[in-house]
Structure 1
Amino acid sequence: MLYFAQPSTMGCRFPVTEKQPFSPDLPMIRANAVSTLAQILSSAGMRLDEQLQKSGLSDATQLNIVDFLRILESFAVEVRDESLHMSKRPLLPGTNDHVLSNLGKCRSLQDALQELAASYNFIHGGAYNRVERRDRELLYIIDDRQFPYLDDSDPIHIRFNLDCVLLYVHGVVCSLGGHGAANSLIKVQSRADNGDNSVLQAAFSHLPLKFGAPCYVLHYQLDMADQPLQWQAPLTLSSVYNQLQFHLGQGNGDNNLVTKVRHLLEQGIQSQDAVAAELGYSVATLRRKLTESHSSFRQCREQVLNQEAKTLLAQQLALEDVAQRLHFSDARSFNRAFKTWNGVTPRDYIEKLQEEQ
């Protein structure tokens, strides 16, 4: 079983040999899927419009796949549980990044997927993930029928989340195997009753989709199984999303500029000059376009830093270490910034985390 985690990405960059264009248009999520997301947030006392605002977005009817997943990612941080309050074994933010960081050591894509499955099986205490070779195909299978969900978990929400997990796993394949592996996906199966409120319809509209299946399955052409990995640097959730964005994108555009700026910041590109250059803008043009999007470079940077700070604090790092990781001059400066962003000090935030465990 897989769940979304908040990335620990400050300082992480794409490999020089695989630099990608950064402004693809992405498939839009269906209205029913957006409605399901709103229900999931509401069950945790949160509102979709507030999460959109935190992500620099404004229109839920124009939500693309990657922005959609990032809202789920942000939600996992806010509730401090990567299982999104669906599992009896809540997981601290950061678990996925820890798992992903080890995949670059594998020799082939099949080895990496097997390591991915084994890692999550160990974390969740059961054989819920597996990789199989079958009928000239390589399958990544998630069988959650015996998974220890909370008794009050909504089956529709669970299946919705697992469809998102399939998309995440495909992002891992895109990251590790490049264009060839991304295009080797030939069929997708889901336990969802139908595709009305699934993200799979938008992501894989060109592929056969089977709903009402016994398990969640990604079917890849077998010839990709033994391909050597193309990604050698430590993998993170943010880099997975960036690769997924590239491989699902179809053309270029200026949509979702705030999201693009945040992506670059998460890659470790910190200066406004460098971000503008990556996007092909002058600094003045970038400022103007961000203003038109009701945001600013400073707001984008603070949103990224705040989300990263919450993840690191949840991992019980010392305040001095968190401040250093986020490039603050000292713990006192970090303390002031965190209180400005959240209305509470880091220590108050940590105490609240401990009370809820």
Structure 2
Amino acid sequence: MNALELQNPVSISDERLCDATCLSSRYVLDFFGRDRGMSLLSGAALLEPQHSAPATLSKLDYWQLCLNSVNKYDDEGHCCLSRPMPKSSWSMVFSAVNQMETLGRGLKRIAELLPVLQCGVHASVGYCSRYAHLTLKTDDQFPQSTRSERYLDLIATVFLCILLWGAEREFLPEKIRLSSLLEPEDGYLLAGLSRKGTERNGFGTTISFSLADLGIQLGARRYESWGIHETSVFRRLYSDLCHSAFASSDEILSDVRHLLTTGMLSQHGVAKELGLSVATLQRRLAMAGTNFRQLSRGLRKEQLSSLLATSAPLEDIAQEMGFSDRRSLTRACHDWLGVTPTAYRQKSAL
């Protein structure tokens, strides 16, 4: 097959990592549509005091809005496509890809299965001397727009998370190409998730993988429930971005948050990993205006909110969060969110 050619690309590979942690409100409201976007922001208590949209939104908050939107409106197309896509429509594709033997076969599989969805998005796989390129584009029936290109940005990110979930080892794409319709100042969900940066050129989204990585085994873990696996991976990727972005300015907070996100939950374990005594860790956190309990509680509360927005059984969420059983999860949920997990899910769907 012919190599993918990128002509006159607009490079943004020198973007600051701190920019890779957030999106502009213009990005968010354009993606959802202003009315729906403002409703979702209000429901998530993310509006400014004057009921205006914040200037920027963390990528983690945006991810949460996407989960909330699917639960509320039962549309994985987020009104970006010609027709609604019921919840779990993409799960069929992701589950099938997850069952492929290797990354290379997984890329081919998504290209084969996308026509089944009849959603107006198609994929192609191309090769050159160093890379395999997965390109997502909307069909010719769709006018090229920032909204459709932002949808491809989302779907490509979710697909990358699915690949990482099932892979036998860690890897990242070599480079990413995004549509020239997307403005750098608004941010991109995929920004920071490749080894060699991101560029803008033409239409659609292309993720380029090293040929050496195509033999990576998939299926190490199975895709079983809507939302939980990709959300868990994205939270980790976001933590990595934040850790790189803010380590120099807020080192101790960044380090502790990063370790908590990777599943290290005890204060003793975090202190040991950082090469500190517990007393020194406590003192440095106090100097930063917080303590270990507050940091841990805040992050785990955010994690629980995200996972409850998925379709995962409560037993799976309990295991993902390190609880011994479902009853422990329920107690924590009532403590952190004020209601039981079931009640929280029912409230979020309204």
Correspondence 1:89 to 2:85: yes
Higher RCO structure, 1 or 2 (CA under 8 Å, sep 6+): 1
| Residue 179 (structure 2) aligns with | 190
Question: In 1, distance between residues paired with 2:141 and 2:341?
Answer: 34
SS in 2 for 1:44: helix
In the superposition, the TM-score normalised over structure 1's length comes to: 0.60
**Match of 1:270?**
265
2:341 to 330, 340, 346: 346
- 1:91 is paired with a residue whose SS is coil
Instruction: Flag structure 1 segments of 5+ consecutive residues without an equivalent.
Output: 1-24, 53-58, 149-154
* Shift in CA distance, 254/228, structure 1 to aligned 2, threshold 3 Å: same
* 2:126 equivalent to 1:128: no
> 1:294 & 1:336 partners in 2: Cα distance?
28
- C-alpha contact 2:134 2:206 (8 A) present in aligned 1: yes
Matched residue, 1:215: 204
How far apart in 2 are the matches of 1:353 and 1:135?
Answer: 46
1:298 matched to 2:293: yes
Partner Cα distance (1:292, 1:118) in 2: 55
TM-score, scaled to structure 2: 0.61
Quote the Cα distance in structure 1 between the aligned partners of 2:112 and 2:285.
43
The runs of 5 or more residues in structure 2 that have no matched partner are: 1-14, 48-53, 224-228
Distance change >3 Å, CA 330–CA 130, structure 1 → 2: closer
Secondary structure of the structure 1 residue equivalent to 2:18 = coil
| Cα displacement string for residues 324-357 of structure 1 (whole angstroms, at most 9, x for unaligned residues) | 6645566565444323322333343233356x4x
Asked if 1:44 is matched to 2:44, the reply is no
Give CA deviations for 1:174-232 in whole Å, capped at 9, x if unaligned: 885979x64743x6141525434233677779657234x232222445x3364334995
Is 1:287 matched up with 2:287? Answer: no
Q: Pick which of 344-353 and 194-203 moved more.
A: 194-203
Give the RMSD, CA atoms, in angstroms: 5.3
Contact 1:184–1:224 (Cα < 8 Å) also in 2? no
Task: After TM superposition, give the deviation of residue 140 of structure 1 in Å.
Answer: 0.9
Given the superposition, is the C-alpha separation of residues 329 and 133 from structure 1 closer, same or farther in structure 2, using an over 3 Å criterion? closer
Cα distance change, pair 37–261 in 1 and its aligned pair in 2 (3 A): farther
Listed one character per residue, the Cα deviations across residues 107-150 of structure 1 (whole Å, up to 9, x for unaligned) are: 4331233345567776x5547342412444422111234799xx
Q: Is the 8 A contact 1:142 1:216 kept in 2?
A: yes
- The aligned counterpart of 1:19 is none
2:65 aligns to what? Answer: 75
SS at match of 1:29: helix
Structure 1 residues 127-146: aligned runs within 5 Å: 128-136=121-129, 137-145=131-139
Count of matched residue positions in the alignment of Structure 1 and Structure 2 = 309
- Partner residue of 1:3? none
Q: Partner amino acid for 1:89?
A: M
